[in-house]
Structure 1
C-alpha cells in the first residue's frame, strides 16, 4: 500500500533555488481544484516563486551549490521527486556531471525544437 495514501495528507515540499532552502506547504489533498491551479508559494526570504519538488525530495546542504545546481537542472528538465510512496521517484543522478546524460536518456520531448533547446541549455 502506498504510504502517502495510507497515512493521510503529507505536506508538499517546495524549494527555492535562489536561497537553497525548502519549505513544506499544504498538500494538494487539502485544497480545492481552484486553489491547486492558483497556488504559488513565495519564498519567505527572497519572495521568488518556489518549486514543487515532491514528497520524496531531500534537500542538499545549503552551502552545497553543486548539488543544488544538479537539483535545479533536473527540475527544469521535468524530473522532480513525486511518487505515491511505494518505490520512490526512481533513480536520480548523484553528481552534476551525470545530469546531461541522464536527461538525454530519460527525457521525452514533444518536438525536435524542444530537444534542441534542452541540449543548448546544458552548454551554458
Structure 2
C-alpha cells in the first residue's frame, strides 16, 4: 500500500530557490480544492513564490549551491519529487554536471514527426 495514503495527509514541501530553504505547508488534501487553487505559497524570508517539490524531496544543505542549482534546473524542466510513496519519484541525477545528459535522455516528443525531425537535425 502507498505510504502516503496510509497515514493521512502529509504537509506539502515547498522550496525557495532564492533563499535555498524548504518549508512545509498545509496539504492540498486538507483544504477544499477551490480554496487551495487560489493559494500562492510565498517564502517567509524573501516573499518570492515557492515551488511544490513533492513529499520525497530531500533538501540539500543551504550552502551547497551546486545541488540547489541542480534541483532548480530539474524543477524548471518538469522534474519534482512527487510520488505516491510506493517506489519514490524515480531516478534523478546526483550531480549538476549530469543534468544535461539526463534531460536529453528523458526528452519526450509530442508526436512521431517531431521525434523524426529532431533525429534528422541531430545527424
Same fold (TM over 0.5): yes
State the partner residue of 1:73.
73
Q: Which has the larger radius of gyration?
A: 2
Instruction: Give the SS at the match of 1:22.
Output: strand
- Residue of structure 1 in register with 2:106 after alignment: 106
* Structure 1 Cα separation of the partners of residues 30 and 107 of structure 2: 31
Q: Residue in 1 aligned with 2:10? A: 10
Determine if the alignment matches structure 1 residue 90 to structure 2 residue 94: no
**What TM-score results when the alignment is normalised by the length of structure 2?**
0.87
TM-score normalised according to structure 1 size: 0.86
Indicate how the Cα distance of structure 1 residues 20 and 109 shifts in structure 2: closer, same or farther if over 3 A, else same. Answer: farther
Deviation of the 1:110 alpha carbon: 4.7
Q: Counting helix residues as a fraction of each chain, which structure ranks higher?
A: 1
Partner of 2:29: 29
Query: Which sections of structure 2, spanning at least 5 residues, go unmatched?
Result: 119-123
> What secondary structure, in the 3-state scheme, does the structure 1 residue paired with 2:37 have?
helix
Q: How many residues align?
A: 113
Structure 1 gaps of 5+ residues are: 117-124
Please report the RMSD computed on the Cα atoms of aligned residues, expressed in angstroms. 1.6
